[in-house]
Amino acid sequence: MQRIQTLDEERGCSGHAQPRASYLIKKPVEGSVNAIILKNCRQRLFKSPIAWTTVHLDFLNIGFDRIDKPPQDGIVAVTEGGPREKRNIPWQKPNRSYRLWCASEMIAKWPSLNFENQKRELREMLGHCGIDVADDYRTEPKIKDKDTGRRGEETINAITHHGFNYIDKRTRTMAMARVGFQFGKKILRKGSVRPDGIFEQASTGTLIAYVNFSSVSVQRENPSRSKGRTRNRSQRSTPPSKTHEDPYIAGILIALAQEQRRRQIPIVDGEGGAGQRVHAIGAYERSTAELYIYTAVIYDGFLDKLERPYEFCESSRVSIQYFPLDFSQQPKEAADYLWLYWRSLGLVFEAEDGA
């Protein structure tokens, strides 16, 4: 006979504060997300990544891994419109070019830039490193269908260039992007993640989020975003030990992977299986000469775990690798490393290797 969940357990599983109509619910399979939620009632907010802590990452088997420099061999070499393949390309700095010189000039003045100027300069820096971005963009909000009353899919219009399109969500208060976070069969608008910008690679559809650590702190301090009433006060007031390893960054990357999966972006092979490769760029607001480049392969099994939280889905540990780029010493060398790392991830398209 199937066990009937109590009302408290049902609310813990669903995340709703108000009680719903009682009905029979099957006991979740051991090892599923719902089973984890019921065992750890106070750490149940898998629907709101802004409220995640390191406890949530441990439950989901996610970790941050630092990379000190780009890979020295096996760089991913790609040609625009062609298949991806691994080649043993020797470690070498790219030939000095005008665009890398321009990128180094922007890197030199990065610490003195404010939030809005950083976003503008980052677009230019990506372009000089071989990643084209759109110069203008606009978004159209969701519109209710007159017949069904349901909200339609959000349409995003942006000027298309050869490399990346810059997608941004403009609100009345702050220009931010928005990506729906899926838990179960629903894409939750209130649980959506809000990076400060999103780049989309036109040829592959790969998404890159731009995250400003200061704006993450602002979102977390907002009670309506942090869902403070369902978290204990000690967790709510404790910031992450390392700002650049904020659990919210993991939530953003997962939401990007879910979005790529909905768009049917081709999967890639990782150490733990096939999945969606996603990226993020993190930065402090000012006075810090550092950028953090994040990349992760979110496995299909992990995405299944969140889309079917009542089932047990096999998944390996999700490793979020990040490369800290220090601008304080040599801007020209930093530009070289930035170019090499993006090239190692297959984000920069070049006619000739090492050009």
Over its length of 355 residues, how does the chain's per-residue pLDDT go in tens digits? 444 444 344 444 444 444 443 333 567 787 787 777 777 765 455 667 888 888 888 888 899 999 876 655 434 333 333 334 444 444 444 454 655 666 677 777 777 777 777 777 777 776 666 565 543 333 333 333 333 344 433 333 333 333 334 444 332 233 456 788 888 887 776 667 888 888 777 667 778 888 888 888 888 876 554 444 444 454 454 667 888 999 999 999 999 999 888 888 888 877 777 889 998 989 887 656 788 989 999 999 899 888 888 888 888 899 999 988 877 767 777 777 777 777 777 776 554 334 3
Name the domain count of the chain: 1
Q: Is residue 16 part of a domain?
A: no
User: Structural domain of residue 54, as residue ranges?
Assistant: 50-344
Contact 174, 215 (CB under 8 A): yes
Indicate whether 353 belongs to any domain. no
> Does residue 120 belong to any structural domain of this protein?
yes
Assigned domain for 352 exists: no
What is the C-alpha to C-alpha distance for residues 352 and 289, in angstroms, rounded to an integer? 31
Tell me, yes or no, whether 178 lies in a domain.
Answer: yes
The C-alpha angle with vertex 32 and arms to 28 and 33, in degrees rounded to 5, equals 100
11 is a domain residue: no
CA distance 191 to 104: 38
- Are 278 and 296 spatial neighbours (Cβ–Cβ below 8 Å)? yes
With respect to residue 70, please indicate whether it lies within any of the assigned structural domains: yes
Q: For residue 32, is it within any domain?
A: no
